[in-house]
Amino acid sequence: MMMYAAVIGALLVALCLLLTRALLGPTVFDRALAANAIGTLAMLLLAIFQFVGGRPEFVDLALVYGLLNVVGTIAVQKFFRYGDLGEPGVADEEHRL
Residue-wise pLDDT tens digits, 2-61: 898 899 999 999 999 999 998 888 888 888 888 899 999 988 998 888 888 888 877 888
pLDDT digits (tens, 9 = 90+) for 45-96: 988 888 888 888 778 888 898 899 889 888 888 888 887 777 666 555 555 5
- Helix then strand then coil, % of the chain, to nearest 5: 85, 0, 15
What is the pLDDT, as a whole number, of residue 53? Answer: 87
Q: For residue 60, how many other CB atoms are within 10 A of its CB?
A: 10
Whether pTM exceeds 0.95: no
C-alpha to C-alpha distance for 52 and 40, rounded to whole angstroms: 19
What is the pLDDT, as a whole number, of residue 88? Answer: 63
Each residue of 33-55: b (16+ CB within 10 Å) or e? bbbbbbbbebbbbbbbebeeeee
C-alpha to C-alpha distance for 65 and 12, rounded to whole angstroms: 18
What is the pLDDT, as a whole number, of residue 35? Answer: 87
